[in-house]
A and B are shown apart, each in its own frame.
Chain A
């Protein structure tokens, strides 16, 4: 049973470009969460999605950031017009529908570097 998959593992972008981060949850999991970890800081919640629905986006910056979890395919976190302050590790987690949402399993993360 494969774990949570994220790609790419490392992503380098220049200021103003777009970054797309992908997350495939564990098999049987229907809840997806995105977290951001800035250097020397803890993980911060960004957004919680179920298939085709954004349930809680209270941690998402108001501009340039968006997330989706389509009916088919992985969840996507999209950052438009990246700035240096977006450099961070972005982690995706998933949880099974029946076990409660708090038991979350994390992917390996995507490390975004903005030049």
Chain B
């Protein structure tokens, strides 16, 4: 059965800290790995990764994928209180008849002032 596992499940840090969120997966017919940020509303798209070793970067956030070891990390540097959210990792299935995403359970990040 396809599965995506995120760790840690929750994390509390102080502003200015750097955090690393982990996502491992076992999915048949892997196509892509996506990171989303979810506050009390819609998950907001952050990154989509399809190739190993290529870092995606957006401001203080960056992510990289390792397709050999089947995991990805999301780094957030110089955290701010506005980074507090649930971070979701999802893996896309490449089968031709579906585009469904398989989500992990999320990492809840709380950034304290």
How many Å lie between the Cα of A4 and that of B45 in the bound state? 13
User: Contact partner of B42 among A33, A44, A56, A107, CB < 8 A?
Assistant: A107
Interface residues of A in 32-58 (CB under 8 A from B): 33, 35, 41-45, 48, 55-56, 58
How many Å lie between the Cα of A102 and that of B34 in the bound state? 8
Given the known interface contacts A43-B88, A103-B48, A106-B36, the answer about A91 and B42 at a Cβ–Cβ threshold of 8 Å is yes
Chain B proximity of A67: nearest CB distance (Å):
13
Say which size band chain B's interface belongs to. 20 to 34
In the complex formed, the residue of B with least CB distance to A102 is B92
- Label chain B's interface by main secondary structure: strand
- What number of A-B contacts does a CB cutoff of 8 Å give? 72
In the complex formed, the residue of A with least CB distance to B48 is A103
Given the known interface contacts A43-B88, A103-B34, A106-B36, the answer about A48 and B42 at a Cβ–Cβ threshold of 8 Å is no
In the complex formed, the residue of B with least CB distance to A45 is B100
How many Å lie between the Cα of A35 and that of B42 in the bound state? 12
Q: Are A43 and B43 in contact (CB under 8 A)?
A: yes
Given the known interface contacts A55-B97, A55-B98, the answer about A102 and B31 at a Cβ–Cβ threshold of 8 Å is yes
- Offer 17 A-B interface pairs, CB within 8 angstroms, sorted by A: A3-B42, A33-B99, A33-B100, A42-B103, A44-B103, A55-B97, A56-B99, A56-B100, A93-B101, A101-B92, A103-B45, A103-B48, A104-B99, A104-B101, A106-B42, A106-B45, A109-B41
Top 7 A-B pairs, shortest CB-CB distance: A101-B99, A102-B92, A56-B98, A45-B100, A43-B103, A106-B42, A42-B103
Footprint of B on A, CB under 8 Å?
A: 3-4, 31, 33, 35, 41-45, 48, 55-56, 58-59, 91, 93, 95, 100-109
